[in-house]
Chains A and B, each alone.
Chain A
Amino acid sequence: MDKFEQAFNEIIEKDLKVEPRDWMPEKYRKNLIRQISQHAHSEVIGMQPEGNWLLRAPSLRSKQVLLAKIQDEAGHGLYLYSVAETLGISRQEMNAQLHSGEAKYSSIFNYPTLTWADMGAVGWLVDGAAIVNQVSLQRTSYGPYSRGMVRICKEESFHQRQGYEIMVQMANGTPEQKEMAQDALNRFWEPSLMMFGPHDADSAHSSQSMAWKIKRESNDHLRQRFIDRTVPQAHFLGLTIPDENLKFNEETGHWETSPFNWDEFWNVIKGNGPCNRERLDHHKKAHNENAWVREAAAAYSSKVETSVA
């Protein structure tokens, strides 16, 4: 083992942070780029299901809030792209990988948002699950990723609360509204649980990521934490978790669920979810139609040395 590898191992062992210009194993770098770019793409693609309701938000307040939330998602995507760029990949390459299907994004965003209650369910469940994952990632071993997570977690708690607020309004509204809230929960419950990824035994990248402290807690562990937090929140709303086998285990103190439908999960990952094609096509279209903006900016920057003052 050379002195570079030794320095790296020491950082990991002592729970210090790896910084961009430190030596790191090529696989550590690759693993990080895969995870962080997937995370960034998820934030960016995640704007689409919410953007779907922007022009149909039921009040000015809810429209303002939704717009601010979508701006945050864009910001989170950009923080994460910046983090990945410190590892030697360019934003352009990441976009190309997204468009070719080589890079993935979270499957959850391949489900449609059919009613306004879905804006509640997305904030409450999807952002809620993301927070559980991201809080854990604040302790990741790569410095820029860890700092990005700290910033994102601070901002993300508003998202979950605004989602829950919508659920409270809908659940306490007319019978039709309550039905919409229940329907949204029914559709988003299992996909949210699957956001944590495959079971630990079936997760391709997990054990190496845990050893390198890129991931600090396992998929199943994080998923259980989310379930235990969320079930009482659903009960408060007077809604029913769509799982007839759901029960509280007094001994362990945890809620137990039915096995998930993993066939569906893998099917959506492979590109056959309800909105996979639409999400990617929309991203490509926006990227291509904005080409002239990038060209104009490049032409302008080559002509002037701009001063801000």
Chain B
Amino acid sequence: MESGDRTWEVFIQKKPGLAFKHAGSCHGYDKKMAIQNARDLYTRRGEGRALWVVPTEAIVSVPLDDAEAFFDPGEDKAYRHATFYKIPDGVSHL
């Protein structure tokens, strides 16, 4: 890549209160250029009113072939879900 030119991951919040959602990536030499490019590229039709850009190299992810082992600790704990518990008939608001 040309010196100074970097890719950035773009996240858009559609409405206040909603989560930011990944939209894609863009180029930019610095933060300001990156967020302006993200605006021009991903919000031409009112897709959102708030934007994040994050340098691509800052994203950490779990490769899919490792995912099974990585997420395994969360799989077998049914007692973490509300449906695990039995509540007698006639009791409400639980």
Using CB atoms and an 8 Å cutoff, list the residues of chain A in contact with chain B: 3-4, 7, 11, 19, 21-23, 71-72, 75, 78-79, 82-83, 85-86, 90-92, 144, 147-148, 151, 155, 294, 297-302, 304-308
Contacts and interface: CB of A to CB of B under 8 A. Distances in A.
Contacts of B40: 75
Contacts of A91: 1, 5, 27
B24 A79 contact: yes
Q: Which 3 A-B pairs have the closest CB atoms?
A: A298-B4, A7-B65, A301-B29
B92 interface: no
Interface stretch (B30-38, B73-81, B83-91): B30-38
B13 interface: no
A24 to B, nearest CB: 10
Given A79-B24, A91-B27, A306-B32, A294 B63 contact: no
A50 to B, nearest CB: 17
B25 A23 contact: no
A75 B29 contact: no
The A interface is mostly helix, strand or loop, or mixed, namely: helix
Contacts of A82: 7, 24-27
Contacts of A90: 1
Given A22-B63, A306-B32, A307-B31, A72 B4 contact: no
B7 A298 contact: no
Contacts of A23: 63-65
A297 B65 contact: no
13 contacts: A22-B63, A72-B44, A82-B25, A85-B25, A90-B1, A144-B24, A147-B24, A297-B5, A297-B29, A300-B30, A302-B3, A306-B30, A307-B31
Nearest to A147: B24
B2 interface: yes
